[in-house]
Amino acid sequence: MISFIRGQVWHAGVDHLVVDTGPMGVRVMCPPATSLSTRVGEHIMLHTSVVIREDSWTVYGFESAEQVALFDMVQTVTGIGPRIALGVVSTLTPAELADAIAHADLPVLTKISGIGNKGASRMVLELKDKITPFAGTGSVHVTRAAQAWRIAVGAGLASLGWTQREADAAMDRVAETSPNLIGSKEPDIGAILKEALRALDRS
């Protein structure tokens, strides 16, 4: 498959570039930050991902291989296709997405075009075990166990209508009052969720 494309920019649109590779001009979909900062006549190299459908082949181009990996990974989430995946890469850096997933930060995730609260919760649940490699400098690092229970419980509370701030406060209270529940290698998510709901009922 095509890993990168290199050539002269023949045309620059809002969300795409046409790259003259010599024998042909290839239309490459890319983040607006890339296409709008690129001038016609400029020589460019983009890392690429190709999405194949029954009626089309579409090339997506990015400035880094890390962005390509992120683009491919988020498409593993139920209901997310290349259009929304491109929006993810256009809106958040890999490290920012990693932090948002690690903390079940739904307000950050819903900034992505096409992602609502349900979609954000689904991203948290389905990417929590895949996103760790993208946590870079400046991201908040937590242990795998701590990350797992907070992501799962936070997503559960969000699905019940609690805000991120309320969920974080409840989980902090559980961590303080019931350290035995979260201290094991495999925390009981159901039990922690019940304690968090009790904490919210008492607030």
Please tell me the pTM assigned to this model: 0.64
CATH number for the domain that contains residue 198:
1.10.150.20
Q: In sequence order, what are the residues at sequence separation of 6 or more whose Cβ sits closer than 8 angstroms to the Cβ of residue 76?
A: 126, 127, 130
Pair 58, 73 in one domain:
no
pLDDT of residue 46: 94
Per cent of the chain over pLDDT 90 is 41
Gyration radius of the chain's alpha carbons: 20
Pair 118, 177 in one domain:
yes
CA atoms within 13 A on the CB side of 142: 19
Pair 19, 73 in one domain:
no
143 pLDDT higher than 90? no
Contact 122, 78 (CB under 8 A): yes
Pair 183, 136 in one domain:
yes
Q: Are strands 56-62 and 25-29 parallel, antiparallel or unpaired?
A: parallel
181 pLDDT higher than 90? no
Pair 102, 137 in one domain:
yes
Q: What is the pLDDT of residues 51-78, one digit of tens each?
A: 988 888 999 999 988 888 889 889 999 9
Q: What is the pLDDT of residues 72-120, one digit of tens each?
A: 889 999 999 999 999 999 999 888 898 899 889 999 999 999 999 999 9
Domain that holds residue 182: 68-202
pLDDT of residue 141: 37
Pair 169, 142 in one domain:
yes
Pair 38, 89 in one domain:
no
Pair 104, 51 in one domain:
no
- Average pLDDT of every residue of the chain: 84
